[in-house]
Amino acid sequence: MNTVQVQDPATFGRVAVVMGGWSAERPVSLDSGKAVHAALVSKGVDAQQVDVDRRRLLDLAREGFDRVWLALHGPGGEDGIAQSALELQGLPYTGSGVLACALSMDKARCKALWAARGIPTPAHQLVDVAAQPAEIVDMLGLPLFVKPSHEGSSIGMSRVDRQDQLPAAIAEAARYDSEVLVEQFVDGPEYTAAIIEDRSLPLIHIETPRRFYDYEAKYAADNTLYHCPSGLDAEREASLQRLCRRAFDVIGGRGWGRLDFMLDRSGNPWFLEMNASPGMTSHSLVPTAAQAVGMDFGALAWRILESTLGGEESRC
């Protein structure tokens, strides 16, 4: 994508900052959307907050919007559904297209594609509430992570250290999704990599005193630490950034996104998931990485919006 460099905010026309939606990540989406809207307005963009439901999502062109800054998270927002609705209306939008969003939101299929293309990802299995805990432990060992296959923000996610904890963890994940993913534990530090078009931003090393980087650690806790610079040496970081870029491209990512991975005790990377519509809140990681290279929140929101001017071709 060849991004147009914009000087005049009027070039963008009327921009819908689409937020809210109907997923369990609605509160995070509202926070992201309000922050993006404020940043764009401060730069003179004719932007409006649009808290969408299924009906209004199909009416944005009729309402006179020229393009969309997508701040939706979770099912309905970053799984290809919103992107499909915007494609049908011919509205340019931020972020990846329909297929990449659908793949990135579906953890099991994303991992299957990564594994087929040589991108390391932890061993995993799709299960349901009737799954036999002993069989799962025999296959994947302990500890384990249990999560809904189509949710983000660690919603419905549990760490399991004992076999007898598995049924409750699976039941909790099944509250949010009919498909539950059980994933092998990786013992090591967690990192995240932000990508803005052709640029890989500095890696962030995440530390939390909690049992894992859960919803509370992401959005509420004040004792979660984000190390940027990451503490890795320059050559190692550059190598990991290249692998992150490859993982992004394998899924078909466009515009911007974020990849989460862990390093095991031997220093080997294991990719957990790709976020096609990352958070843009005060606790979010893409703004943190952007700030490390001198790009403030307003410049970041503007840069992402510029990507919608890179061509009007379908992004499916």
CATH of the domain at 169: 3.30.1490.20
In the chain, at which residue ranges do the beta strands (DSSP E only) sit? 14-20, 46-52, 67-70, 124-127, 144-148, 158-160, 180-184, 190-196, 199-200, 204-207, 225-227, 256-263, 269-275
Q: Is residue 4 part of a domain?
A: no
Residue 205 has pLDDT above 60, yes or no: yes
What percent of the chain clears pLDDT 70, i.e. is strictly above it?
92
So what's the pLDDT on residue 29?
A: 94
- Its domain, for residue 139, covers 124-184
Residue 254 lies in a domain: yes
The verdict on 176 and 270 lying in the same domain is: no
Residue type at position 28: V
Query: Is the pLDDT at 2 greater than 80, yes or no?
Result: no
Among 20, 23, 25, 230, the active-site one is 25
Distance CA 268, CA 213 (A): 20
Total domains in the fold of the chain? 3
What is the rounded distance in angstroms from the CA atom of residue 279 to the CA atom of residue 258? 10
pLDDT averaged over every residue in the chain: 90
Task: Please report, for residues 28, 34, 71, 102, 278, the alpha-carbon distance to residue 49 in angstroms, rounded to integers and kept in the order given.
Answer: 15, 7, 10, 25, 18
pLDDT value at residue 314: 43
Q: Determine the distance from the C-alpha atom of residue 93 to the mean position of all C-alpha atoms in its chain, rounded to a whole number.
A: 16
Both 57 and 172 in one domain: the answer is: no
Q: pTM of this prediction?
A: 0.89
Residue-wise pLDDT for 261-290, tens only, equals 999 999 999 999 999 999 998 778 999 999
Selecting among 273, 277, 284, 315, the annotated active-site residue is: 273
258 is catalytic: yes
Whether residue 177 lies in the annotated active site: no
Residue 224 has pLDDT above 80, yes or no: no
Tell me, yes or no, if 138 is annotated catalytic.
Answer: no
**238 domain-assigned:** yes
Residues 243 and 146 in one domain: no
Is 179 labeled as catalytic in the residue annotation?
no
Check 96, 275, 284, 307 and give the catalytic one. Answer: 275
Domain assignment present for 253:
yes
So what's the pLDDT on residue 64?
Answer: 97
From 177, 214, 260, 306, active-site residue: 260
Task: Verify whether residue 59 is a known catalytic residue.
Answer: no
pLDDT band of residue 18 (cuts 50, 70, 90) is very high
| 2 carries an active-site annotation | no
The CA distance from 235 to 170, in Å, is 40
